[in-house]
A and B are shown apart, each in its own frame.
Chain A
Amino acid sequence: MDALANIALGFSVAFTPANLAYCLLGCLVGTLIGVLPGIGPVATIAILLPQTFSLAPESALIMLAGIYYGAQYGGSTTAILANMPGETSSVVTCLDGHKMARKGEAGLALAVVALGSFFAGTVANLVVALAGPPLSALAYSFGQAEYFALMTLGLVAAVVLASGDLVKAIGMAMIGVVLGLVGTDVNTGAQRFTFGLFELADGIGFLVIAMGVFGLGEIVANLEQGADREVFAKAPRGLLPPWRKLKRAVPSVLRGTVLGSLLGILPGGGAVLASFASYMLEKRIAKGPERFGHGAIEGVAAPESANNAAAQTSFIPLLTLGIPPNAVMALMVGALTIHNIQPGPGVMAANPALFWGMIASMWIGNLMLLILNLPLVGLWVRLIAIPYRLIFPAILVFCAIGVYSVSLSTTDIVLTAAFGLIGYFGRKLECEGAPLLLGFVLGPMMEESLRRAMVLSGGDATVLVTRPISAILLLLALGLLAATILPTVNTKRRGIFAE
C-alpha cells in the first residue's frame, strides 16, 4: 500500500502542467540530439545544466532525465538509418538495424525500437519504483575482482558477436583496448601514448572514435559506391509493420528488458554491457544465428530494450545511494547540488516528492516518446530518401559540432577525421568497428579493476576465482570462448584429415 501511495504522490507531482511541459521539452530535445549524429546527452545536459538554475528542482530533473532517455530513443534512429552510433549503447543497433534499413525494413526496425523501448522502460520503471533500494545493494556486492570478470566477459562477447572472421575481430578488439589505454594511467599516474599533448591526458573521447570509425568511415564508403546507395534509399517499405513481423521480436524484447534492468544498476558500463550482452544472448539462442549481422530483427529488439531498461535502472544508484554510475548521472548530481539537495541515501526520505515525481515522470516521458516516435517513423524513413549528396555534408557538420561540443577541443575534430580513415580502411579489409569500440570502452575498465583488485589482495591472483560472482563470470567467458573457437578448430581438423 505504501508503494501505491508513493506512486500516487509521484503522479501528482509529474502531472502538473508545468512538469508535463518540461517532460515533453526534455523528451523532444533528447530525441533531437539523439537523432543528430555526434551530439549526445552528456554534452547537452552539461550545456543546459546552468539554465536549470531557476527551475524548481523537480522540473529541472524531470527535464534533464527526459533528455537522457529521449536521446536513447533518438540515438537508435541514427544508428539504423545512417549506421552511426551516437551513444555507446547504440553501437550494437548499427549491426542489424542498419542492415534492416538497407533491406528496406527501416520502418519495421524503428517501430520495433519504439515499442520495445517503451515496454522495457515501463518495466524498468516499475523495478525502480518497487525494488530500487534493495537492488542498490547489488552495486556493493560488485568488487574490483567482479568488475574485472564482468569486463572480461564483455570483451569475449565483443569478439564472439562479430559476424566476420574471428581473427580479425580479435585484432580489432585489441586495437580498441590499446586505444583505450591512451591517457593517464589511473594506477600510477603515468602518461601513456599522449605524445606530450594535454588534450590526450584524459584519453581519447568515445565520440571521437565512434564518429570517426562508424560515421566518417560509413560516409566515405557510401560516397564510393554512390549508385547503390540511391537504390537503397528509394525502397522504404513496410511503414506500418504487420503484427506477424513484430511478433518475432516479442521474446527478444522480454529478455532484453530483464538483462538491461539488472545490468543498468552496475556502475560504469551498465547500459553498454546490457546492450552487448543481450545481443549476444539472442545470437546464441536464436534459430539461425547466421542471420545476425545481416538484419535480424531480434538483434535490434533485444539490445534496444536492454539499453532503455538500463537507462532507467541506472537511476537507482543515484537516487538511493547518491552515487552516480555514469557521466550523465554525475551531471544529475550536479543538478541536485545546484538546487541545494544533497543526493544520497537520504534523498528518498527527505524529498519524497522529488524522488517519486521523477519516477512517475520517467514513465510519462516514455509514453510521450512512444507517441512522438511512432508517427515520426514515417518521417525518418522519408529522410533517407533525400539524395545522399545533400545529406552527407549535414551529417559531417553535425559530427564535427558534436565532437567539438564535448570539450571544446579542435584536436578532437582532427582525431575524428583520422579515425574516419581507420574506419574506412577497416571496412575495406572487412574488419568490423564494433569489437574495436567495445575493446576501447571495456579494456581500460578491465585493466583498472584488475590492478585495483591486485593492490587490494596484496598481489594474490586467486581472488579472481575464489570470489563466487567473479568465478562464475570468468567461467562464462571461458565457456563462450570455447564454444566459439571449437567449431572453427573442428572444421580445420576435419579439413586436415580429409587431405
Chain B
Amino acid sequence: MIRSLFTTLVALAVCAGIMPAHAQTYPTKPVTLVVPFPSGGVTDILGRLVAERLSGALGQKVVVENRAGAGGNVGMIAAANVPADGYTLFLGTMGTNAINASLYRDLPIKPAEAFAPLAMVATLPNVLVVNPRTHDIRTAAELIAAAKKASRPLTYGSFGNGSSAHISGALLAVGGGVSLNHVPFRGSGPAMTSLIGGEIDLMFDSMPTALPQVKGGAVRALAVTSANRSSIMPDVPTMQEAGFKGYDLSVWFGVFARSGTPKPILDRLATEIQKIVAQPDVQARMRSLGADPFIVPTADMPAFIAREAQRWAKVVADNRISLD
C-alpha cells in the first residue's frame, strides 16, 4: 500500500516536473504539418503560409508534408496515428473533418475524437457560375426559372462525388425545387473547360479557380454560397440574398493536433496560430488567393465542427451521396 502510494507520488512528481518543462522547451525539433492535398492547391498554399509564420513563432522549422489521397483521408489517418506530442499537426478542412465521416463508412478514425482543434485559418466559398454565351442568365432566380422551363434537367459540373461543389449543387436543386443532373469531373479544371465549351449548364466552382474566369468574362458569377458576401467578389450576392433560405456553405480550413497532446503544448500552438491568422499581411495573402480569413476561438471550435458535421451528414443522406 505504502509502496504503491510512493510509486504514485513519484510518478506524479515526475509528471509535474516534466509537464511544465515540456511546454517550456517545446519544440525541441522540427514540427510537421500534414497537408492532406497535393502541393500547389489552396489547402497546400494556406498550409505553407501558416507553416512559414509558425516556424518563426516557435523557433523551430515547421515542415509541410503533403499526404494526398482519398479526399484527404490518407493524410488525416496518417496525422491521427502519431504520438500525441505536438510534433505532428494536421491542416484539416470541412471535407476531412466534417464530411468524410458520413461519406466513407470505412473511415477507421472518428475525426472529432482523434483531433484537438487549435485554430481556424480561412474559409472559401463556392461561386455559382454559368456560361453567358449559352445561358443569358443574370441571377440565381432566373437560373431556377430556366431549369423549370427546360425540357431536360439542367446539368451541373463538380470536382468529384461528395465534393463541396457537388453538395452546393444538391442544395441548389433542393432549395429551388428543381431536379438537376450531376456531372462529376476529376478536378475543377476539366469541369470549367466543359462549362466554357458549352457542355454543362452551370457549376459551383471554388473561389480561387473561378475568380480568373469570372474576371476574364468566360463565365458569369450569379451568387456565392457563403452566408455573407465574399470580400473578393463584393458585387456578387449570396445565395441567401438570391432567395435561398438558410443556404450557407463555406469550405473552412483549420489546424489540428492529435487529441491527448499535453494541454500546455496545445495552448501554446493555439495561441500562436490564432495570432498568425490575425496578422494583416497574412489576411491580405489569403484574400489574394480568394479565401477569407476565419477566426474562431479555440474553445468554440468543437461545437462549430460538430454542427457542420451534423448538417452535412443530413445533406449527404438526403441526397444519397456515397463514396463506398
Cross-chain contact A338 with B216 (CB below 8 angstroms): no
Residues 374-387 of A, flagged 1 when their CB comes within 8 A of B and 0 if not, give 00000000000000
Which of B183-191, B220-228, B258-266, B300-308 has 4 or more CB atoms under 8 Å from chain A?
Answer: B183-191
What's the Cα separation between A342 and B209 when bound, in Å?
A: 9
Cross-chain contact A267 with B199 (CB below 8 angstroms): no
Residues 330-354 of A, flagged 1 when their CB comes within 8 A of B and 0 if not, give 1101110110101111110000000
What's the Cα separation between A287 and B44 when bound, in Å?
A: 52
Q: A184-B323, A323-B189, A342-B215 are in contact. Are A456 and B155 (CB under 8 A)?
A: yes
Counting chain A CB atoms within 10 Å of each CB, the highest count among B41, B65, B68, B199 belongs to: B199
What chain A residues lie within 8 Å of B212 (beta carbons)? Answer: 322, 342-347
Which of A12-20, A96-104, A189-197 has 4 or more CB atoms under 8 Å from chain B?
Answer: A189-197
- Chain B facing A: main interface SS: mixed
Closest A residue to B213 by beta carbon equals A344
> In the assembled complex, how far is the CB of residue B295 from the closest CB belonging to chain A, in whole angstroms?
23
Which of A25-33, A139-147, A237-245 has 4 or more CB atoms under 8 Å from chain B?
Answer: A139-147
Interface residues of B in 185-219 (CB under 8 A from A): 185-187, 189-190, 192-194, 196-200, 208, 211-213, 215-218
What chain A residues lie within 8 Å of B48 (beta carbons)? Answer: 50, 53
Residues 176-187 of B, flagged 1 when their CB comes within 8 A of A and 0 if not, give 000001111111
In the complex, whether A488 has a CB less than 8 A from a CB of chain B is: no
Counting chain B CB atoms within 10 Å of each CB, the highest count among A184, A191, A199 belongs to: A184
Which of B70-78, B86-94, B247-255 has 4 or more CB atoms under 8 Å from chain A?
Answer: B70-78
In the complex, whether B22 has a CB less than 8 A from a CB of chain A is: no
What's the Cα separation between A455 and B155 when bound, in Å?
A: 8
What chain B residues lie within 8 Å of A347 (beta carbons)? Answer: 212
What's the Cα separation between A409 and B69 when bound, in Å?
A: 10
Cross-chain contact A186 with B213 (CB below 8 angstroms): no
Cross-chain contact A448 with B39 (CB below 8 angstroms): no
Cross-chain contact B321 with A267 (CB below 8 angstroms): no
What's the Cα separation between A452 and B160 when bound, in Å?
A: 12
Q: A184-B323, A191-B324 are in contact. Are A346 and B216 (CB under 8 A)?
A: yes
Cross-chain contact A186 with B161 (CB below 8 angstroms): yes
Interface residues of B in 98-148 (CB under 8 A from A): 103, 106
What's the Cα separation between A188 and B68 when bound, in Å?
A: 21
In the complex, whether A201 has a CB less than 8 A from a CB of chain B is: yes
Q: How many interface residues does chain B have, given as a range?
A: 35 or more
In the complex, whether A232 has a CB less than 8 A from a CB of chain B is: no
> In the assembled complex, how far is the CB of residue B208 from the closest CB belonging to chain A, in whole angstroms?
7
Closest A residue to B186 by beta carbon equals A186
In the complex, whether A264 has a CB less than 8 A from a CB of chain B is: no
Cross-chain contact B39 with A50 (CB below 8 angstroms): yes
In the complex, whether A126 has a CB less than 8 A from a CB of chain B is: no
Interface residues of B in 26-77 (CB under 8 A from A): 38-42, 44-45, 48, 64-71, 73-74, 77
Cross-interface CB contact of A143 among B66, B184, B186, B194, cutoff 8 Å: B194
What's the Cα separation between A337 and B291 when bound, in Å?
A: 12
> In the assembled complex, how far is the CB of residue B30 from the closest CB belonging to chain A, in whole angstroms?
14
Cross-chain contact B161 with A330 (CB below 8 angstroms): no
Cross-interface CB contact of A334 among B39, B161, B184, cutoff 8 Å: B39
In the complex, whether A202 has a CB less than 8 A from a CB of chain B is: yes
Residues 228-249 of B, flagged 1 when their CB comes within 8 A of A and 0 if not, give 0000000000000000000000
Counting chain A CB atoms within 10 Å of each CB, the highest count among B38, B67, B187, B196 belongs to: B38
What chain B residues lie within 8 Å of A268 (beta carbons)? Answer: 190
Cross-chain contact B39 with A189 (CB below 8 angstroms): no
What chain B residues lie within 8 Å of A448 (beta carbons)? Answer: 186
What chain B residues lie within 8 Å of A143 (beta carbons)? Answer: 194, 197, 199
> In the assembled complex, how far is the CB of residue B70 from the closest CB belonging to chain A, in whole angstroms?
4
> In the assembled complex, how far is the CB of residue B318 from the closest CB belonging to chain A, in whole angstroms?
16
In the complex, whether B310 has a CB less than 8 A from a CB of chain A is: no
Cross-chain contact A408 with B40 (CB below 8 angstroms): no
What chain B residues lie within 8 Å of A340 (beta carbons)? Answer: 288
Cross-chain contact B289 with A337 (CB below 8 angstroms): yes
Cross-chain contact A456 with B213 (CB below 8 angstroms): no
Cross-chain contact B70 with A201 (CB below 8 angstroms): yes
Counting chain B CB atoms within 10 Å of each CB, the highest count among A335, A407, A448 belongs to: A407
Q: A198-B70, A322-B213, A455-B155 are in contact. Are A189 and B321 (CB under 8 A)?
A: yes
What chain A residues lie within 8 Å of B73 (beta carbons)? Answer: 198, 201
Interface residues of B in 286-324 (CB under 8 A from A): 288-289, 321-324
Cross-chain contact B67 with A342 (CB below 8 angstroms): no
What's the Cα separation between A267 and B199 when bound, in Å?
A: 15
Cross-chain contact B197 with A140 (CB below 8 angstroms): yes
Q: A140-B197, A191-B323, A267-B189 are in contact. Are A407 and B68 (CB under 8 A)?
A: yes
Counting chain A CB atoms within 10 Å of each CB, the highest count among B155, B217, B323 belongs to: B323
User: Which B residues form the contact surface with A (CB < 8 A)?
Assistant: 38-42, 44-45, 48, 64-71, 73-74, 77, 103, 106, 152, 155, 160-162, 181-187, 189-190, 192-194, 196-200, 208, 211-213, 215-218, 288-289, 321-324
23 contacts between A and B (CB under 8 A): A49-B39, A53-B48, A139-B197, A140-B196, A140-B197, A186-B161, A186-B185, A189-B103, A189-B162, A190-B322, A199-B70, A201-B70, A321-B218, A323-B189, A323-B192, A330-B40, A331-B40, A337-B289, A346-B212, A407-B67, A408-B67, A455-B182, A456-B155
7 interchain residue pairs of minimum CB distance? A334-B40, A344-B212, A189-B161, A345-B216, A201-B70, A140-B197, A189-B323
With A184-B70, A267-B189 given, name 19 new contacts (CB 8 A).
A50-B48, A140-B197, A141-B197, A186-B184, A189-B184, A189-B322, A189-B324, A201-B74, A321-B218, A330-B189, A334-B39, A335-B40, A344-B213, A345-B213, A347-B212, A408-B65, A408-B66, A409-B69, A456-B155
